[in-house]
């Protein structure tokens, strides 16, 4: 088998596979299934695995499956950080090391803070000290907010930026990619399939190949998904009119106000499952709808009626969505669909 294509991840100097592994979805599968998936990716040549302290048991699964080949892989993980609690990063880092049975993290990223920690920030200082001690090799940041992304690049303090990028990206997102390239900041691409909304992996793959500095971490939960990305890596589709037209179709269908499922509007005081409820129509029409006809989903969508219009979600949505209105219209759509598919619904 030929070696997988590698990319230099900005000034980290790390050579990572252009097709890398996003370990968020392995939370949803068993230890055994996750182990098989991680191992299969590694055996196929994938050398870069991105996880987070907050992804429940994802780090433990990585530790269980890959700690014997630790030196051969590159691990990026993330720690939440709230101002006023600098020890949070220390606690999380210690936990990540234990869970992954390792004594160093290749890239430690601040996990989507709503500000860009500066040089004097105590948590940043702590990470610098960890870097001096070799416990953390590189410091990165992840974010959904354009202004934090720009600040992080301009600050010169971060070696990597993890940011959403897909065929749906607008000019402003592309500017971030280009700016990273100029500043030699590694660009780790999250949400390459826009949280499951994009249906065309071939188009996604070909599109991202056009950006040499972009390293997608494809979220993988099933062996077929892994095989699909490996197959595309081995035989990359050439960007042509057909793929361009396909991307155009996706863009048209998903144009405008749609929920990207980032979850930054949570928590909702009424426990409404906003990240999926606000895009239920897309989910149910662009992927199998049966999983959303369960009792649990019926109850989740019913909670939309309990919205107290506190606007917490609206005020925290980085995409400027009017989330309560979006939820209300999605609920109307769901109710109609549910009525029409009553015979298939779990009751």
Shortest Å, Cβ 74 to ligand SF4: 28
Shortest Å, Cβ 306 to ligand SF4: 7
Shortest Å, Cβ 170 to ligand SF4: 14
- From CA 5, how far away is CA 7, in angstroms rounded? 7
Shortest Å, Cβ 29 to ligand SF4: 23
The enclosing H or E element of 102 equals none
**Residues with Cβ < 8 Å from 313, sequence gap 6 or more?**
265, 266, 268, 274, 323, 324
- Asked if residues 149 and 112 have their Cβ atoms less than 8 Å apart, the reply is no
By CB under 6 A, which span of 18-26, 97-105, 313-321, 336-344 interacts with ligand SF4?
313-321
Residues numbered 235 to 294 that lie near ligand SF4 (CB under 6 A) are 259-265, 268-270, 272, 274-275, 278
The residue from 16, 121, 313, 331 that contacts ligand SF4 (CB under 6 A) is 313
Please say which residue, 91 or 172, places its beta carbon nearer to ligand SF4.
172
- Six-digit token string for 152: 């992080």
Shortest Å, Cβ 163 to ligand SF4: 14
- Six-digit token string for 39: 């191992």
Please say which residue, 22 or 186, places its beta carbon nearer to ligand SF4.
22
Radius of gyration of the chain (CA): 20
- Asked if residues 154 and 178 have their Cβ atoms less than 8 Å apart, the reply is no
Residue closest to 57 by CA, chosen among 35, 41, 83, 73:
35
- From CA 142, how far away is CA 149, in angstroms rounded? 8
The residue from 308, 332, 336, 346 that contacts ligand SF4 (CB under 6 A) is 308
Shortest Å, Cβ 263 to ligand SF4: 5
Residue closest to 42 by CA, chosen among 11, 82, 74:
74
The residue from 311, 332, 336, 344 that contacts ligand SF4 (CB under 6 A) is 311
Give the up-direction half-sphere exposure of residue 296: CA atoms within 13 A in the CB hemisphere: 5
Shortest Å, Cβ 172 to ligand SF4: 16
196 binds ligand SF4 (CB under 6 A): no
Please say which residue, 137 or 144, places its beta carbon nearer to ligand SF4.
144
DSSP 95: H
The residue from 199, 202, 312, 341 that contacts ligand SF4 (CB under 6 A) is 312
Residues in contact with ligand SF4 by the rule CB under 6 A: 259-265, 268-270, 272, 274-275, 278, 307-313, 316-317, 319, 321, 323-324, 327
């Amino acid at each position: 088998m030929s070696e997988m294509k590698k990319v230099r991840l900005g000034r980290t100097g790390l050579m990572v596979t252009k097709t890398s592994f996003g370990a968020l979805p392995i939370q949803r599968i068993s230890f055994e299934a996750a182990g098989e998936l991680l191992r299969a990716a590694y055996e196929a040549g994938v050398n870069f695995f991105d996880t987070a302290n907050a992804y429940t048991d994802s780090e433990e699964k990585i530790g269980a499956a890959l700690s014997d080949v630790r030196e051969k892989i590159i691990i990026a993980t993330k720690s939440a950080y709230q101002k006023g609690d600098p020890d949070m990063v220390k606690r999380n880092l210690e936990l990540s090391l234990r869970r992954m049975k390792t004594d160093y993290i290749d890239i430690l990223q601040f996990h989507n803070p709503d500000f860009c920690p500066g040089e004097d920030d105590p948590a940043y200082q702590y990470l610098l000290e960890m870097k001096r001690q070799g416990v953390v090799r590189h410091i990165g940041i992840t974010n959904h907010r354009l202004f934090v992304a720009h600040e992080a690049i301009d600050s010169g303090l971060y070696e990597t930026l993890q940011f959403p990028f897909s065929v749906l990206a607008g000019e402003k997102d592309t500017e971030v990619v280009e700016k990273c390239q100029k500043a030699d900041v590694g660009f780790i691409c999250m949400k390459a399939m826009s949280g499951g909304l994009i249906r065309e992996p071939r188009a996604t793959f070909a599109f991202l190949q056009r950006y040499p500095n972009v390293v997608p971490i494809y979220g993988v939960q099933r062996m077929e998904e892994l095989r699909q990305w490996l197959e595309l890596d081995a035989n990359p589709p050439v960007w042509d009119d057909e793929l361009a037209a396909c991307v155009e179709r996706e863009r048209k269908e998903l144009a405008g106000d749609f929920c990207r499922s980032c979850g930054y509007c949570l928590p909702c005081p009424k426990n409404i499952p906003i990240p999926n409820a606000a895009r239920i129509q897309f989910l149910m029409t662009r992927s199998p709808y049966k999983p959303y006809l369960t009792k649990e989903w019926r109850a989740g969508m019913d909670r939309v009626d309990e919205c107290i219009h506190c606007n917490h979600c609206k005020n925290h949505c980085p995409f400027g969505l009017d989330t309560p209105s979006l939820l209300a219209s999605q609920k109307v759509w769901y109710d109609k669909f549910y009525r029409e598919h009553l015979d298939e619904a779990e009751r």
